[in-house]
């Protein structure tokens, strides 16, 4: 569907992209249309008051959002000042230690008193500089704590305002629906745009500068003018294009029902459903259809791309075709099949309580999804997101209140595990994000990406704290595929397709050491509670290293690439899954194999 050639009203000026101020004016217009008493006068007694209450809540929400943005910037600036002050204090301490050692060495040679006094004065000056640097560090840290408290206060206020606005807007929309004056963008309009318009007007293509990827894009302006003007069908280019049959170009026109739905939606203010983010992709807000059922038995073994032990070690979850398979660890018996999942499962993680699990899945090249399931019966708790690219990794925070996801569209998402609502979206990478990990205290996130960077983020604000860039190395290699924090949170281990592990500081991203010896891509890395580094690679081996780089154990009994790895530190067990569908569970201390089986229904009983 190309809106470039859609007819315009005579005398209308051709405009380009709208500025941020024009976006704000357009959204304000949409809100005002909702409470106006114009051509869409409602007959219900409570609808005008509900819309007025929703508009008041919207204004309060906007005010809280502005305050939160200021507070976030202030917290970030305080963080930078504290970081610089800390580095300066560390440098000053090193200089003082160096000068003190030099003085002691000089005093041991018994030089003339005059020379010794000069050296002592020099040390005193260095000590004074050190003390001042330490004082500045203390002051900066105090200011950072105050900024953090202020940010937390504004964040709580903003979240409360968002909840109140969502509640009031939902009430107004429900009343409008009863009166026949509301058309759902998510349920009615977005599916039409996806099926008939996005082929030519997505964010990547945007013919005629018309981007219909999300609600904000629909309300924006293209090369020929306003795509949609809330409340004004005559001045909405989208409606003209579909009503005269010129669009979708080269395809059958929209049905009368579809045209009527879009006309009514524009008439009633081009409103977005309560609780939906205006910049969220249409793919993520449309009603989700159940995924295909997996086969009862598999005709061929399926590669094991994800494994996870439950916190108590009783269960091992593995990837399947449109499903997650739950095995009893001790017996290897298949106890549950969790369905309604995308074609390929890329990652699985258990909630710290062990009562639920989150699944990152999708269909390669088509879509990705993130879902939260109850373990006991396999019922879905939340459909957290759908993306145009695969969701490649997901992790619960140590407290279990948040879920982080790494997406192939270069984004990192954070969700509330209780409500399923989005919290953060980070766009700092410029290629697919392959892996995500939480720090032990739950305050930071680490990511690994195909852009050859690993990053550390503040998990509350989404601000980037550090970047480990492999291109800074003389032995520069390829993409990063995995990342994991050490138990103390001070270091991060990353892996990739240049056949090595790297250990670097989480604070400043300085490389501590590289661990070599692999003969193929290192696909996964896990740091256990015991502080050991567990990794698997394309050379059919599983290796265990100490953080000092010493190799402790190596297992090479797999016959194919090892795609997945899970560690049960509590019971000293290690599970690995390979391309040929085999799952092996080992006793780490003894190095012996506890159980090996094909992790595909129909094959697992043949071992």
Check if the beta carbon of residue 500 is closer than 8 Å to that of residue 545.
no
Can you tell me whether residue 172 is helix, strand or coil? Answer: helix
pLDDT of residue 15: 38
> In angstroms, what CA-CA distances link 49 with 36, 52, 56?
11, 5, 11
pLDDT of residue 543: 95
In terms of DSSP bridges, do strands 433-438 and 402-407 run parallel, antiparallel, or are they unpaired?
unpaired
| pLDDT(33) > 60 | no
Provide the strand spans (E) within 266-379: 307-309, 315-319, 324-328, 334-338, 344-350, 356-363, 367-374
Q: Please, how many CA atoms are within 13 Å of residue 584, restricted to the half-sphere of its CB? A: 22
- Tell me the two tokens of residue 278: 């205006």
| pLDDT(34) > 60 | no
């071992």: which residue's tokens?
607
pLDDT of residue 195: 86
Check if the beta carbon of residue 534 is closer than 8 Å to that of residue 526.
yes
Question: Looking at residues 543-571, what average pLDDT do you find?
Answer: 93
Indicate the length of the chain as a whole number: 607
Check if the beta carbon of residue 557 is closer than 8 Å to that of residue 564.
no
């194999």: which residue's tokens?
593
Question: Looking at residues 551-557, what average pLDDT do you find?
Answer: 91
User: What is the phi/psi pair of residue 560, to 5°?
Assistant: -150, 180
Instruction: Count other Cβ atoms within 10 Å, centred on residue 376.
Output: 9
Check if the beta carbon of residue 183 is closer than 8 Å to that of residue 265.
yes
Q: What is the pLDDT of residues 63-95, one digit of tens each?
A: 999 999 999 889 889 988 998 999 899 999 999
CA distance 51 to 44: 12
CA distance 401 to 6: 48
Could you say which DSSP state residue 272 is in? Answer: P
At 498, the pLDDT band (50, 70, 90 cuts) reads confident
At 605, the pLDDT band (50, 70, 90 cuts) reads low
Question: Looking at residues 184-190, what average pLDDT do you find?
Answer: 92
Can you tell me whether residue 381 is helix, strand or coil? Answer: strand
Mean pLDDT lowest for which of 237-241, 343-347, 595-599, 600-604?
600-604
Name the nearest CA neighbour of 327 among 595, 587, 606. Answer: 595
At 604, the pLDDT band (50, 70, 90 cuts) reads low
Check if the beta carbon of residue 67 is closer than 8 Å to that of residue 158.
yes
Check if the beta carbon of residue 65 is closer than 8 Å to that of residue 158.
yes
- Tell me the two tokens of residue 196: 């008939």
At 471, the pLDDT band (50, 70, 90 cuts) reads low
Question: Looking at residues 412-426, what average pLDDT do you find?
Answer: 91
* CA 538, chain centre distance (Å): 27
At 557, the pLDDT band (50, 70, 90 cuts) reads confident
3-state SS of 433-471 is EEEEEECCCCCEEEEEECCCEEEEEECCCCCEEEEEEHH
Can you tell me whether residue 328 is helix, strand or coil? Answer: strand
At 38, the pLDDT band (50, 70, 90 cuts) reads very low
Lateral strand order in the sheet of 307-309? 307-309, 315-319, 324-328, 334-338
Can you tell me whether residue 26 is helix, strand or coil? Answer: helix
pLDDT of residue 358: 97
Instruction: Count other Cβ atoms within 10 Å, centred on residue 283.
Output: 21
Check if the beta carbon of residue 440 is closer than 8 Å to that of residue 398.
yes
User: What is the phi/psi pair of residue 599, to 5°?
Assistant: -85, 45
Name the nearest CA neighbour of 543 among 489, 500, 514. Answer: 500
At 134, the pLDDT band (50, 70, 90 cuts) reads very high
> In angstroms, what CA-CA distances link 140 with 83, 95, 192, 582?
8, 21, 53, 54
pLDDT of residue 575: 95
* CA 186, chain centre distance (Å): 22
At 598, the pLDDT band (50, 70, 90 cuts) reads very high
Geometric angle at alpha carbon 564, from 561 and 569, rounded to 5°: 130
| pLDDT(253) > 50 | yes
pLDDT of residue 441: 94
Question: Looking at residues 336-355, what average pLDDT do you find?
Answer: 95
pLDDT of residue 4: 44
Check if the beta carbon of residue 107 is closer than 8 Å to that of residue 55.
no
| pLDDT(470) > 80 | no
pLDDT of residue 475: 52
Long-range contacts of range 6-12, CB-CB < 8 Å, 24 or more positions apart?
Answer: 6/208, 6/224, 6/237, 6/240, 6/241, 6/246, 6/247, 7/240, 7/244, 7/246, 8/224, 8/225, 8/237, 8/240, 9/234, 9/235, 12/225
Q: Facing residues of 325 across strands?
A: 318, 337
pLDDT of residue 579: 94
pLDDT of residue 223: 83
| pLDDT(45) > 80 | no
CA distance 393 to 387: 13
Who has greater pLDDT, 607 or 267?
267
pLDDT of residue 581: 93
pTM assigned to the model:
0.80
């Amino acid at each position: 569907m190309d809106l470039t050639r859609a007819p315009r009203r005579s005398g209308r000026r051709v405009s380009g992209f709208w500025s941020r101020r024009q976006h704000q004016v357009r959204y304000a217009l949409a809100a005002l249309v909702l409470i106006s008493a114009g051509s869409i006068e409602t007959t219900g007694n409570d609808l005008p008051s509900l819309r007025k209450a929703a508009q008041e809540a919207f204004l309060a929400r906007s005010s809280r959002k502005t305050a939160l943005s200021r507070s976030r910037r202030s917290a970030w600036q305080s963080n930078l000042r504290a970081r610089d002050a800390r580095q300066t204090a560390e440098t000053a301490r090193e200089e003082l230690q160096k000068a003190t050692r030099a003085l002691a060495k000089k005093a041991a040679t018994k030089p003339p008193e005059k020379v010794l006094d000069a050296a002592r004065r020099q040390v005193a000056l260095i000590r004074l500089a050190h003390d001042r640097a330490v004082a500045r560090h203390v002051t900066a840290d105090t200011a950072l704590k105050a900024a953090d408290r202020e940010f937390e206060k504004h964040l709580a206020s903003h979240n409360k305002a968002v909840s109140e606005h969502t509640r009031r807007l939902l009430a107004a929309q429900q009343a409008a629906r009863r009166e026949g004056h509301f058309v759902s963008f998510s349920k009615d309009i977005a599916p039409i745009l996806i099926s008939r318009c996005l082929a030519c007007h997505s964010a990547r293509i945007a013919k005629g500068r018309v981007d219909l990827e999300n609600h904000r894009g629909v309300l924006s302006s293209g090369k020929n003018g306003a795509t949609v003007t809330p409340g004004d069908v005559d001045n909405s280019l989208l409606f003209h294009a579909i009503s005269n049959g010129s669009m979708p170009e080269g395809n059958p026109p929209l049905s009368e029902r579809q045209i009527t739905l879009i006309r009514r939606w524009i008439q009633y203010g081009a409103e977005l459903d309560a609780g939906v983010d205006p910049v969220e992709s249409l793919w993520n807000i449309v009603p989700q259809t159940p995924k295909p059922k997996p086969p009862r038995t598999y005709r061929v073994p399926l590669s094991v791309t994800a494994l996870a032990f439950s916190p108590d070690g009783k269960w091992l979850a593995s990837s399947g075709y449109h499903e997650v398979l739950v095995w009893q660890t001790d017996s290897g018996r298949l106890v549950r099949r969790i369905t309604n999942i995308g074609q390929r499962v890329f990652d699985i993680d258990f909630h710290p309580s062990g009562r639920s699990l989150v699944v990152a899945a999708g269909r390669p090249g088509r879509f990705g999804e993130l879902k939260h399931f109850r373990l006991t019966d396999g019922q879905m708790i939340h459909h957290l997101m759908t993306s145009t690219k695969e969701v490649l990794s997901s992790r619960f925070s140590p407290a279990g209140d948040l879920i982080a996801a790494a997406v192939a569209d270069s984004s990192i998402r954070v969700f509330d595990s209780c409500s399923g609502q989005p919290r953060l979206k980070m766009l700092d990478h410029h290629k697919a994000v392959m892996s995500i990990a939480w720090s032990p205290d739950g305050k930071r996130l680490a990511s690994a990406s195909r852009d050859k960077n690993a990053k550390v983020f503040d998990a509350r604000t989404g601000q980037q704290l550090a970047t480990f860039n492999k291109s800074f190395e003389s032995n520069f290699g390829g993409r990063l595929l995995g990342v994991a924090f050490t138990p103390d949170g001070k270091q991060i281990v990353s892996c990739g397709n240049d056949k090595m592990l790297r250990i670097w500081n989480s604070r400043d991203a300085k490389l501590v050491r590289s661990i070599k010896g692999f003969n193929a891509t290192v696909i996964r890395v896990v740091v256990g509670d015991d502080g050991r580094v567990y990794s698997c690679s394309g050379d059919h081996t599983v290796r265990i290293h100490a953080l000092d780089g010493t190799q402790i154990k190596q297992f090479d009994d797999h016959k194919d690439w090892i795609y997945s790895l899970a560690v049960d530190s509590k019971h000293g067990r290690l599970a690995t899954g390979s391309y040929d569908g085999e799952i092996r569970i080992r006793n780490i201390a003894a190095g012996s194999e506890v159980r090996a089986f094909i992790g595909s229904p129909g094959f697992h009983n043949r071992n």
